[in-house]
Every structure is written in C-alpha cells, then in structure tokens.
Amino acid sequence: MQNQKLYLYNTLTRKKELFTPLNPPFVGMYVCGPTVYNDVHLGNVRTFISFDVLFRYLKHLDYKVRYVRNITDAGHLEDDSDEDKISKRAVLERLEPMEIVQKYTVSFHEIMRIFNVLPPSIEPTATGHILEQQEMAMQILKNGWAYEVNGTVYFDVEKFAQHYDYTALTGRNLEELLNNTRELEGQDEKRGRLDFALWIKAKPQHLMQWNSPWGKGFPGWHIECSAMSTKYLGEQFDIHGGGMDLAPTHHTNEIAQNIAYCGKQPARYWLHTNMLTLNGKKMSKSLGNVVLPLELINGTNPLIPKGFSPSVIRFFMMQTHYRSTLDITLDALNAAEKGYQRLIESFELLTTLKPAESSSIDIQAFRQKCYDAMNDDLNTAVLIAELFEIAKWINKANEGQVQLSAKDIEELKKLFNDFFYEILGIPQRDANNDAVLQKLKALVEIVLEIRSEAKKNKNYTLSDAIRNKLESIGIVIKDTAEGTRWSMK
C-alpha cells in the first residue's frame, strides 16, 4: 500500500481527519445516486465526478474499495405532493414508471461514460430492495422509534431527539430543519411535525405500490439508502457521500434510521460536494438556467453558447475544490480549455525530448507534492497547479535550459499518467486521435528535415517559408544548439 496519509473533511465532525478504514485495506463507500425521472444536470455530474476522483485515488493507494452508488427508482416524493417523481413523470410522458426508470437510467449511464466516471462496484435499485426496506422499518417499529397510522409508518423524530443528537450532521436545531422537511399526504396523522415516513400507504391510483405488513404502499425515500448501504456495506462502513443539499434532511434521516435500527452511526466519514452556479446565480428550473451536460458539450445552451469537450469540462471542475462553490461562466470555461491544452502540449513534449546525460530536477519531490495535494482532502485545484509547475520545467527542458535524463522523462510520463489520467480521470484522447497525432508528428519531422536541408544549402527563403507556414497552423519551431525543437500551440 502507498505510504500516504489521506485527510478528509468529515461533515459530521466539521474538521479534517486522517482517513483510517475500519478494516484496511478494505474500504466501504456509499454515494447517493440519481433519482431517474429526468436527465441529470451538471450539478449532479459534478458530485459524481468528485466521488469518482475519491474512488480512483483510494484505488491508486491500493485500497480494496467496494463502492456502492444506488439508483432511486421509487419513493422519492415531490415536495408538495404525495406522488413520487417517477410516477408523476410517467403520467406526463404517458409511459409506464419502469419505462421512465429505464430511459433515464440509460441516459445517466451514458453521461457517466462520456465524462469517464468509473462504474461503482454495486449499483442497487430501490425497487430491487423492497423487502430489505420493509424489514428495516419493522425492526425500527419493534425498537420503539416509529409508529404506524392507517398503513403509513412514521419515524418518531422528537422521541429520537430526546436520546440522540438528531441534527449532529448539520448542527441545526429542530425548528430550522422543519423548513426542509418533505410534506407528505396525511400530515395530521403524524405525532410530530418533523416525523417522516418509512413506509407510505398508497392511494389506489398510485402507479408504484407493493404489498407490505401495513397494506399496499411504497417506501419512504430516506430508508432506501439505509437499507441498501446496510445490506452491501454492513451496519457501519467507512465513507458516505453526496451533494450538500442532502445533508439537512436525507442524510440526517439516514443516520437516525440506522441508529434506530441497530444502534450504530452508519458511516464514519461523511463527505459532501458544494453547489454549482451559473454566471454567479444558483441553477434552478424556475430561473431557467439549468445546464444539461450534453448542452454544454454541444454548445446548445443559450447561456453558454459554445461547445466544450468532456475532457475540458471535467478539467474545469477539478480546478475548484469539491467543497467550494463552482461558478460556470463562458470566460472560465475558455480559460480552462486553454489551460488544458497548454498542459497536454507540455507533457506531449516528453515524447519528442532528447534525453540528456544528467539530471537537474528532483522528480520524486514533484511526485510527493502531487500526493500532498490529494492527501489534503482531495485538493485537485492544488494538484493541477503542481502539474502546471512541472509543465514549466518540461518546457524549460525543451528549450535546453534544464537537463532531463531518460529516467526523468519516463518518470514524468508516469507521473502525468498517474495523476492526470488515472486519478483526476481526465478522458484521454481516443485511439483515432492518437493515431492522427502520431502521423502529424512524423509529418512535422519530415518537413523539418526538408527545412534543415534547405538551411544547409543556404536556401533561407525556403527555410523561412517553412517556418512561417508551420507557425500559421500552430506549430512553433525553435533552432537551438542541440538542434531544431518544435511544439504545438
């Protein structure tokens, strides 16, 4: 295992803590996945990319990671309705609920593929674990932390709060949390204003319902994650993640459910990503400024009227720490695109550099600085800054100002591959593009040989013409004592 000390910011304790798995080298990680009733927006994508980086880094450190990311395909209620989001969408599109689930699950997986997000170890669905959710609700009832009214099972928050810190994850008081509590049909049935449903009695017209000990109904949203994380990771595991919007209600209720079920806090480290804004404003459907991933790629969003590659978009997201707000603007994306190209071009010089006899830089010191950035709560912004610093030295070597041995060059290639492609997960150029690039490099070398021959024959008119033509298409050449060097803008 890599001899690195990883510190993660734990929302539960509100401080950075040394990551120490319960059962090393095994790590259990659970991340709340999408509710598949619509296309995922860019804010969702940021969350999944952030935890993809954590997944990749833990694997890089030689941990054996079981990464569980669920699909919510039932039970996620609208704030002002007793109809779940999937059933409501099914009515609008005149489809069966499972057609909606299939349609948007496929769409979600395609977006994850485009952004080079690794699939989780297990991807359970809520509808595939109805029995486990019912069993958990029955045990919570048996333990005295819930009650049943007319076929709906409610969690007794006020009773729980008398014995445990219900708002430990956020530090908020119960009255503040009330503002974020999901409204359910039959509010007058509840004993307390903050009580939430573990199992909900279904109306006859409800499209998704199952038999239960309390009659036909469907699961509450919160119990889905508690049941699935417990089944696949045990009563206590290492990491639970999601967007910061989930902390006040969904994750708070998950913790309460698990403690009520088995007496244990489910996860030791709670990690949350921050929100995405657009031109300084929070993205929302009401403001009409929600950006879908494919719109940003294709340049079809009116607020960002230019297309950017998935590599550039992912790189752009990595330039801001996952716990910080990320503001999307056209200028910021353009700057990220230029930075991405500059970084790629600098490291591609390693394939054309002629090794020196000796070395004048410490590659291992560079590598440790990259580790230090990642070990500091996955600070990808600092990591990218370190990669740019390394790129400067490569450019200096290309200009003959520093010495890079053959070993240095190979170690720098591995460093870039490890941190840029493997850990940050930036999608690599596809094979066709790589083949074209190799042919382009060979073609440039042929042209430079012709130019060199022209210079030997004192045909400076042709020599200068070749230089100017190459520069006009973005290929810059520089004559040095060691020979002619070239790079692409």
Q: Are 314 and 115 in contact (CB under 8 A)?
A: yes
Neighbours of 175 (CB within 10 A): 9
First CA to last CA distance, the chain: 39
Whole-number Å distance between alpha carbons of 217 and 219: 7
Strands of 40-108, DSSP E:
64-69
Longest dimension (CA), the chain: 97
Under 8 Å between Cβ of 70 and 108: no
- What's the pLDDT at 77? 66
Other Cβ atoms less than 10 A from the Cβ of 449: the count is 11
pLDDT in tens, 458-488: 888 888 888 888 888 778 887 876 677 776 6
Report the C-alpha gap between 8 and 233 in whole angstroms: 20
pLDDT (0 to 100) of residue 410 = 96
The predicted pLDDT at position 187 comes to: 56
Please indicate whether residue 75 or residue 9 has the higher confidence score (pLDDT).
9
User: SS in 3 state form for 401-449?
Assistant: CCCCCHHHHHHHHHHHHHHHHHHCCCCCCCHHHHHHHHHHHHHHHHHHH
Mean of the pLDDT values across residues 396-412? Answer: 93
State the virtual CA torsion across 333, 338, 341, 346 in degrees, nearest 10: -140
Tell me: pLDDT of 184 over 70. no
Q: Where in the chain is the domain with CATH 1.10.730.10?
A: 278-423
Summary mean pLDDT of the chain: 90
Distance, CA of 124 to CA of 99 (rounded, Å): 18
432 confidence band (pLDDT: 50, 70, 90) = very low
> pLDDT tens, 319-343?
999 999 999 999 999 999 999 999 9
The tens digit of pLDDT for each residue in 274-294 reads 999 999 988 776 677 888 999
CATH 3.40.50.620 domain span(s) along the chain: 7-273
- What CATH number was assigned to the domain covering residues 278-423? 1.10.730.10
Instruction: For residue 267, give the nearest of 220, 305, 233 by alpha carbon.
Output: 233
What is the pTM (predicted TM-score) of this model? Answer: 0.86
Taking CA atoms, 130 is separated from 67, 104, 213, in Å, by 21, 21, 12
Question: pLDDT band for position 436 (50/70/90)?
Answer: low
Count the residues in the chain. Answer: 489
Residues forming a β-bridge with 201: 217
Q: Is the CB of residue 289 less than 8 Å from the CB of residue 304? A: no
| Stretch 424-446: mean pLDDT | 70
Instruction: Give me the pLDDT at residue 440, please.
Output: 73
Q: Which tens digits make up the pLDDT trace of 35-65?
A: 999 999 999 999 999 999 999 999 999 999 9
Q: What is the distance between the alpha carbons of residues 347 and 350, in angstroms, rounded to a whole number? A: 6
Phi-psi region of 280 (alpha: psi -120 to 50; beta: other; left: phi over 0): left
Topology at the third CATH level for domain 7-273: Rossmann fold (3.40.50)
